[in-house]
Amino acid sequence: MTISDTDILFLGECVRQAAQAEIMPRFRNLGATDVSEKTSATDLVTQADLLAEHRITAALKERFPAALIVGEEAYDADKSVVPALADAELAFVIDPVDGTFNFAAGLPVFGTILAVTVRGETVAGIIHDPVLGDTVTAIKGAGTFLTRQDGQSSKLKVAEPAALDQMVGGMSWGHMDEPDRSRICANMAKARMTFAFNCSAHEYWMVASGKLHFIGHSKLMPWDHLAGVLAHQEAGGHTAKFDGTPYRPGETTGGIISAPDRESWQLIRREIVGI
């Protein structure tokens, strides 16, 4: 199974249409009944999440009826879909509103993510910013590109390697347990500057475009990471799990680090993660 250039254009349009029709009309316009807690007060779902995922899913099913479709919001009803990514002939992974807490708070730092996998390999990824209308598109073996709302396009490249005290980065420690949580928070003081976006879409956007040197996560749900990891790798970066192995579709544990190159990755693993 292959994904054509025409398919990529179709997928990008699906994401943009969902953002225009379901996400942006509800941004800073949510009622009390439009937001619900999932597992905690910081893990939310809104009507924008549900309706955008439904719209994208319907479009994908119409064009690719045999494909496996994994949506973040549909996952609770059938958790078997995530491990099925390891062997699926063709699969699409959707995060309709990545950064839902930010979205619900009225903070314009959220995105829509769509990844494409073929037989256990991520072959394409789309990260769309509904507020700016800009889109990052990564294709296996063809690079990562930023397309502005006005149609201008540029190829992305990761940051050049730097000394740790000159690096800018972020580690999403919110899902970590102790003692990892406290150790990593303390070690982040070794970097030049740190950021916490609470949004994988923007974190991968920033690291793939060279604005951040590194990012790291402990929780590896596929809708948060598959598209972003491909974007980072196709922009020239090195991403691997904490144990050094590649991150693959279907995996949800083991932690992950994205850095400019393998040497930088090893430095972050040793000095920040502390393993």
Q: Which residue ranges make up the annotated binding site for Mg(2+)?
A: 72, 95, 98, 224
Q: Return d(Cα 80, Cα 256) in angstroms, integer.
A: 22
Lookup: tokens for 67: 């494909």
The rounded distance, in Å, linking the Cα atoms of 137 and 148 is 11
As to burial, measured by CB atoms within 10 angstroms (0-12 exposed, 13-18 middle, 19+ buried), residue 79 is exposed
Tokens matching residue 221: 């749900």
Can you spell out the DSSP letters for 57-124?
Answer: HHHHHHH-TTSEEEETTTGGG-GGGTGGGGT-SSEEEEEEEETHHHHHHT-S--EEEEEEEETTEEEE
Specify the residue for token string 């699409």: 92
SS3 content of the chain, % helix, strand, coil (to 5): 40, 25, 35
Q: CB–CB of 112/201 below 8 Å?
A: yes
**155 phi/psi in degrees, rounded to 5:** -85, 140
**Residue 91 β-bridge partners:** 68, 117
Which residues are documented as binding site? 72, 95, 98, 224
- Which residues partner with 93 through β-bridges? 70, 115
Instruction: Give which of 140, 126, 118 is closest to 234, Cα–Cα.
Output: 140
149 Cα distance to chain centroid: 20
- SS3 state of residue 49: helix
Tokens encoding 162: 């730097």
